[in-house]
Chain A
Amino acid sequence: MTSLEIQAPEAGVPARWKIPPQLLLIGPGIIFIIVTLLLPLLAVVVFSFWKTESYELFMDWNLENYWVLFREPAYRVFLVRSALGALATSFICLVYAWPVAYFIARHGGRYRLLLVLLLAAPFFTGVILRIAALQGILGPGGLINMALGMVGLQPIEALMYTPVAATLGHVYLFMPFMVTAIYLSLVNFDFALLETAKINGAGPLRAFVEVTWPLNWIGTAIGLILVFIPCLASAVTPRFLGGPKSTSFGMSLSQQFGETGTWALGSAMSVVLFVVSCAIVLLMGFTINPRRSGFTGGRR
């Protein structure tokens, strides 16, 4: 330290006050991550091994919460239901988002930016409001079924407070993430490679499978994660749109912190959810071969 003081006495600032500039840049990020992510996560993990009695947490180390989750079939049903719902939502978003993103990236021309900004339009209002609006469209007295009734047709039962309605809600909510992820991948994709594939004998479908899809897989995988993970944890949408048969893991989880006041059990559920989410991310990670992703690092 003394040698440092001798080496850097200039600028009138005592050397020991000097903070390395790298730390100034990275510091706020580190603090943010610690306060908003690591600490709550740590708290949840700790709480999950505690106990709640009449709405109070007690420090009493045990595995009872996990045992409950394992023993009670209801929680497994909730988890599987959420996972299946998230899977269906991701798949629908994938199939729907690819052509949209492709169109914007390829043919958007000077309207590209505008079209992408339109994807953000739903975020101008809150989630609850949008879900309520969706309820107004899908519900029994909603736009679709009312219109059907006016022409003398039967209402579509599947749209009224069913898992299908909940999935539709999820698709609607998370579609922008999927489109944006794929779009961002496609704008960095060199479409000339597609021409090259065609000259070398690949028809449109073959060229897509051989070139476009593998070179945009990372973006697509990110989109899938961005849709799957929040969908897995979703609580509000199934509550508003899903009806009695759609109780999701997330809904049950939020109840533990609310109505039932069983924080410890809720924490254990959170940990399970977190572990499952991490597993999904890892699983997606294994599908990515950095060599074959087209992300070549030191490209010309």
Chain B
Amino acid sequence: MGEGPVSLSLRGISKRFGQVKAVDGIDLSVGQDEFLSLLGPSGSGKTTLLRIIAGLELPDRGTVVVGGQDVTRQPPYRRKIGMVFQNFLLFPHKTVAENIIFPLRMQRASREECVERLGWALNLLKLKGLEARYPNQLSGGQQQRVSLARGLISRPTLLLLDEPLANLDRELRAEMEVEIRRYQKELRIPFIYVTHNQEEALTMSDRIAVMRNGVFEQIAPRVEVYQKPATAFVASFVGQSNHLLGKVMQCAAGQLVIDWKGRELTVPCNETLGAGEAVRFMIKHEDVQLRAMGRASRDQAAFNRLKGKLRDIIFKGQTANFILEIDNGCELIASGSLRDTDVRAGDSVLVEWPQTAGVCFRDKP
């Protein structure tokens, strides 16, 4: 929850399409200067939720409150919400300038105000000199900027962004991620950002709501979603993890000892589980460390240690993935910088991670 007054609050929002529950009882509050991402796989209901907030869909149940006003039954044009779409949706028959001031004209703003705000928007989004062009004369990135300018020009209570970067190439995307976050922080307008791309969500958001099958699996600050996933789904969806399927041997407060294919591991756990229960332990690639065999080890206690062989190194640029064959026949992936290690493919290695790292959940079939 961001500081300051609440800009948007949803209570018990549900929406069905035929037999499918697209959105199933969502409650949400978004603060005045918050950047919230709705993260989820396709079909998770995140776009439907966004469209309900925008007024493009009517919820079957629940209320939408924007800026203190119940707008559940209000048409989109009375909600004072800005929206940016994946495919830009600029008006092809209007110039850049006409596209951008469209919302102001609809509010019957004066000519002077239109001119002044247009200058502001062109400046903010670095669109100077493109005013007279038509959308088809712009690059994808420029079109997305125009789309953002149109969304922001009338100082909306809320800006909704529906996968706005999905159609842009990688380099441009990275650049726009930073910029979009900057606009949000400068303008202090809450942004709700729908994406299926966890990197985008992690880069930009204050909070992330991870969505699946129409419900929030977890809604928390971004670091918490990454480091302390609330469910197995979140853990597997956010970040790159190894999945270790095992059986509970012993359950103590906050800790489990599990049997993973003949190896004993101590893992953190918040659930109370009985011995013999099937569990899924997930540990992020970057939490797994490896050392050449025979090197002096650190303090003994608080680490899980496994013996294995480095089968391959997959170079990824800044980091590399180390494919490890553990001596129980299973495979793990560790990631790290190539610089910090002197191991080679084929070497015997010691694989280790802190006993507090990773998350463990009951494995539901």
Contact = CB atoms under 8 A, between A and B. Distances in A.
Interface in B72-123: 75-77, 79-83, 85, 87, 89, 91-94, 102-103, 106-107
B166 to A, nearest CB: 13
B54 A199 contact: yes
Given A201-B154, A215-B92, A296-B135, A195 B106 contact: no
Nearest to B167: A300
Interface in A190-239: 190, 192-193, 195-203, 206-207, 210-211, 214-215
B82 A193 contact: no
B13 to A, nearest CB: 18
B150 interface: yes
Given A200-B102, A201-B106, A202-B106, A296 B134 contact: yes
Interface in A147-202: 190, 192-193, 195-202
B331 to A, nearest CB: 42
Interface in B268-286: none
Contacts of B85: 192, 196
Q: How large is the interface on B (under 10, 10 to 19, 20 to 34, 35 or more residues)?
A: 20 to 34
B102 A292 contact: no
Contact of A211 (B75, B80, B87, B91): B91
A199 B93 contact: no
Nearest to B106: A201
B136 interface: yes
A195 B92 contact: no
B56 interface: yes
Contact of B92 (A200, A210, A296): A296
A294 B77 contact: no
Interface residues of A, number: 27
A62 interface: no
Contacts of B92: 215, 294, 296, 299
A214 B93 contact: yes
B89 A192 contact: yes
Contacts of B76: 195, 198-199
Interface in A279-294: 291-294
A190 B91 CA distance: 10
A109 interface: no
B135 A206 contact: no
A198 B150 CA distance: 13
B162 to A, nearest CB: 11
Contacts of A198: 55-56, 75-77
B64 to A, nearest CB: 14
A195 B47 CA distance: 14
A297 interface: yes
B84 to A, nearest CB: 10
B165 to A, nearest CB: 15
Interface in B40-77: 54-56, 75-77
A298 interface: yes
Contacts of B81: 199
A298 B136 contact: yes
A112 B168 CA distance: 34
A198 B103 CA distance: 9
26 contacts: A192-B87, A192-B89, A193-B89, A193-B91, A195-B76, A196-B85, A198-B55, A198-B56, A199-B55, A199-B82, A200-B77, A200-B83, A201-B80, A201-B102, A201-B106, A201-B107, A203-B75, A211-B91, A215-B93, A291-B134, A292-B93, A292-B94, A294-B92, A296-B135, A297-B136, A300-B140
Given A199-B82, A200-B150, A201-B102, 17 more contacts: A190-B89, A192-B85, A193-B91, A196-B91, A198-B56, A198-B77, A199-B54, A199-B76, A199-B81, A200-B83, A201-B154, A203-B75, A215-B92, A215-B93, A292-B94, A293-B93, A294-B93
Interface of A: 190, 192-193, 195-203, 206-207, 210-211, 214-215, 291-294, 296-300
